[in-house]
Amino acid sequence: MLRRFESALDVRFREYIFVDPNLVPEPSIVRSDEIDGPRAFEFEGDLVAQGPKIYLLSPQLVATSERFQRLVPMTGMSPAEVLAGRNDLVVIVDEAHHVGRLSSRETTAWAGAIRALAPSMQLGMTATPRGEEGEHVLYEYSLRRALKEGLYTKDVHICVRSFDGTGLSEEDVDRAAIDYSLDRLERKRAAAGAAGDGFPVVKPVCVFFARDIAHAQEVKGWLVAGGRVEEREVLLTHSGMSKSEDDLERLLSIEQSDNPVRVVVNVMELTEGWDVTNVYVVTPLRAMATFQGALQAMGRGLRLPAGRRVGKPVLDELDVVCFGRERLERIVSEATAWTGTASPDAGGVKVTASNEADPELVPVYVAAIKQTSMTAADLRIARRELDLALSPEALRYVSEAVVTEVDLVAARTRLGFGRPRIARDRFARAAALRCIRGLPEFLSDEDHTAPITTIVLHWLSGVRPDGGPVDFDPAEVGEQVAIALRRNARLAAPEYQDIGQTRTFTFPSFTGSEEVMLAPGAAPPSKTVSDMPMFEPGDFRKGQLYRGWRQSGHEAYAFDSEPEALAAKLLDQATEVEWWVRNAPVRLEIDTPAGRYRPDFLVKFVTDNGVSYLILEAKADFRWEDPLSEERLKNRAAREWSERQRLAGHHICIGVALETDIRRSASWAELRPRLR
């Protein structure tokens, strides 16, 4: 757990705990082996400007180690006394249910040691709160909610097979579960190997939960004897084992591709503190093969290797294998009751019979059938000085975001101390530094600290006119001022500069995908464009490859919406269109103050007036209503880019087709005059 925390405190780690180094500067870490060294006793700098100092300590060190209580000669104090003397000490405890009741006289050594440090605040993190007196839950993010929202975890696919009434022994059921689990593991391995760019190198792992130590040893023997797994690929772990450093390293480094372990057998030992991303199959064996057993086991495999879902079911799902005496109907009923949904295929938990087919994304090679390219001037946005003038409306937004939130927090807080108050000048400077860190492409400490500080002081004079110390969070104020200034940057009309070079946008062959249903253990079929359907209005499916185009640059295309597909159909029937292409995968993008502009289509026209190009987007009407929406701002910048291209001798136009206009147009000739 300490090693996991240390990784999370590394700014380069995928799950860096402070999220954004612009918000919290990189922390200074004191580890257990440095607790009586000089770094443990040094406190300097402004917390807002320098970042927090974090002591990464084990409960054993804090509660029982002499090193923590022993005086250090050069200071005349012990590490415990130094920390207890701080008035800004915050203790953060993981697996906090082990601490015990801080409010009672009789408590654990760990809880007593924390109490002796007299922290200003103690934060505990746990998946199993005790619900004791004196325990205040500040924030709860339940597993049920995490699965339903699908933002941070894999989905859960419970694969059920009931052996009730079959007369088979527990050993027979276990062997069937093991074979099926290895089939699922192989399916995950093949999918991870073919995932392509954007997905890390992943070695999927299966975890078996055995009933007891003897059962676990038996399971390992079956795995190796079966010949599908080598002995070096199986790791047996349970509380009765004395683990060597090598054993621990094999367990803790299981995410690394050079670690040979593919299967872990444990006796419900891996229930906390072991959080890895590459567990893709978990199998509770024997009496644990129930929905409750699945709930206990699934927590070991919910993390996402890429830190996000990738849109491929086989890589976005954790398989939980439930082979036992409990029937499918009962597990479905318990799953739907637990998720609070009316379907077993909702709320992030899917329950199916083990012999049902699974969706799989199969690669489809899509050939380029026309020579398609467009040459344009290489234009760059001229970087202008950021407009530092904030309108009264912008300042009001800052106030609403900061003042209202502060008042709400103050009203709801259950903690027994007030908010810190900071001198106005120091507060304004700290907020300015935070604002500058939030806009590194526009602002610098040297040039902008003074003017941003003036902005903050001006804002303070309106919301706290008394002239006294300030009870706001300077980081929050700085962030909101940065948001307001970034809005100025987004609204600024871009000035494109011609650097005297050209860029050629080409659209070569690409690999798409087709979703097919695979029976467990079945090999993915080979799919080609000829297997894809032709697009028919009213029968649209997002992401489906459609073939049959006449004027397109490729054999087939997938679309994000039906209006896009309908616009493509109109383009494909237009006589003046020499070719059109979908800009997916993205080849053409234009830098704008509001972000990258990535249009849907590029079209080449040949008429009596010569050759011209159209960059086209299909948009829902509501996305075009707000003149300051992201879509409108990007379009405005793209039109400026287009005008600069015209001056450079390249005839490239920008157009937007709204959904209602697309649907009421029977031909391209009808749609073209309706373009925005």
User: Which pLDDT band holds residue 106 (cuts at 50, 70, 90)?
Assistant: low
In a shared domain, residues 238 and 178: yes
- Residue 151 located in a structural domain: yes
Q: CA 564 from chain center: how many Å? A: 28
**Has residue 413 got a pLDDT over 50?**
no
Which pairs from 642-645 meet CB under 8 Å and 24+ separation? 642/615, 644/377, 644/379, 644/496, 644/498, 645/376, 645/377, 645/379
d(CA 490, CA 91): 41
Q: What is the distance between the terminal CA atoms of the chain, rounded to a whole angstrom?
A: 56
Whether residue 368 is contained in a domain is answered as no
Q: Write down which residue in 88, 115, 140 finishes a domain.
A: 140
297 and 419 in one domain? Answer: no
* Mean pLDDT value of segment 388-398: 81
Tell me the H-state helices in 385-444. 392-412, 424-438
Which tokens is 653 given? 């136009």
- Band of residue 412 on the pLDDT scale cut at 50, 70, 90: very low
| Rounded Cα distance, 524 and 361, in Å | 9
- pLDDT, residue 2, reads 76
How many Å apart are CA 587 and CA 510, to the nearest integer?
Answer: 11
| Dist. CA 338–CA 317, nearest whole Å | 18
Q: Do 455 and 584 sit in the same domain of this protein?
A: no
pLDDT given at position 473: 79
pLDDT tops 80 at residue 21: no
Please check whether residues 482 and 506 belong to one and the same domain: no
**Residues 130, 154 within the same domain:** no
**Residue 198 lies inside a defined structural domain of this protein:** yes
Domain membership of residue 329 (yes or no) is: yes
Do 476 and 506 belong to one domain? no
Q: Specify whether 509 is located in the same domain as 473.
A: no
- Evaluate if residue 537 carries a pLDDT over 80: yes
Whole-number pLDDT of residue 151: 85
The tally of domains found in the chain comes to 4
Return d(Cα 577, Cα 592) in angstroms, integer. 28
User: Measured between alpha carbons, how far is 389 from 395 in angstroms, rounded to an integer?
Assistant: 10
Q: What pLDDT digit, counting tens, does each position of 317-355 carry?
A: 999 999 999 999 999 999 988 888 776 667 789 999 998
Which segment of 16-20, 112-116, 273-277, 669-673 scores lowest on mean pLDDT?
Answer: 273-277
Secondary structure of 302-368 as H, E, C letters: CCCCCCCCCCCHHHHEEEEEEEECCCHHHHHHHHHHHHCCCCCEECCEEEEECCCCEEEEEEEEECE
CA-nearest of 290, 351, 352, 350 to 326 is 290
439, 514: one domain = no
Spatial distance between the Cα atoms of 4 and 251, rounded to a whole number of angstroms: 13
Residue at a domain's end among 92, 119, 140: 140
Residue 147, H or E segment = helix 143-149
Residues 200 and 345 in one domain: yes
Residue carrying the six token digits 């072991």: 274
Together in a domain, 90 and 117: yes
**pLDDT over threshold 60, residue 417:** no
Residue 79 counted as domain residue: yes
Residue 394 lies in a domain: no
- The answer to whether 327 and 164 are in contact (CB under 8 A) is yes
Q: Is residue 48 part of a domain?
A: yes
Which of 456, 491, 526 is the endpoint of a domain?
A: 491
**Contacting residues for 671 by C-beta, under 8 A, at least 6 apart:** 567, 570, 657, 661, 662, 665
Q: What is the CATH number of the domain that holds 255?
A: 3.40.50.300
- For residues 272 and 323, membership in a common domain is answered with yes
Whether the pLDDT of residue 404 is over 60: the answer is no
Please give the Cα distance from 36 to 82 (Å, whole number).
11
pLDDT given for residue 46 in this prediction: 59
Kindly tell me if the per-residue pLDDT of 510 is higher than 80: yes
Strand ranges (DSSP E) for 587-641?
601-607, 610-619
For residues 206 and 188, give the distance between their C-alpha atoms in angstroms, rounded to a whole number.
Answer: 10
Say which range, 159-173, 295-309, 409-423, 497-511, has the weakest mean pLDDT: 409-423
Predicted pLDDT at 93: 87
Pairing of strands 345-346, 317-324: unpaired
List pLDDT tens digits, range 218-267.
Answer: 999 999 999 999 999 999 987 766 666 676 777 778 888 889 999 999 98
Query: Between these two residues, 427 and 377, which has the higher pLDDT value?
Result: 377
Please spell the DSSP secondary structure of 495-550, one letter per residue.
Answer: -EEEEEEEEEEE---EEEEEEEEE-TTPPPPP--GGGSPBP-TT---TT--EE--S
Mean pLDDT on 185-194: 87
- Per cent of the chain over pLDDT 70 is 91
Name, in order, each residue with C-beta under 8 angstroms of 498's C-beta and a sequence gap of 6 or more: 377, 378, 379, 644, 648
Q: Report d(CA 669, CA 672) in Å as an integer.
A: 6
Split at pLDDT 50, 70, 90, the class of 454 is: very high
Domain that holds residue 62: 2-140
Query: What percent of the chain clears pLDDT 90, i.e. is strictly above it?
Result: 42
Q: Residue 300: exposed, middle, or buried by beta-carbon count in 10 A (0-12, 13-18, 19+)?
A: buried
Do residues 37 and 179 both lie within one domain?
Answer: no
In-domain check, residue 366:
no
The Cα–Cα gap between 435 and 444 comes to: 10
- Residue 410: predicted pLDDT: 46
Q: Is 433 helix (H, G, I), strand (E, B) or coil?
A: helix
- Counts of helices then strands in the chain (DSSP H, E): 21, 22
Q: How far apart are CA 463 and CA 401, in angstroms?
A: 12
Alpha-carbon gap, residue 571 to 219, rounded angstroms: 61
Residue 666 is predicted with a pLDDT of 96
The neighbouring-strand residues paired with 644 are none
Can you give the CATH number for the domain in which 609 is found? Answer: 3.40.1350
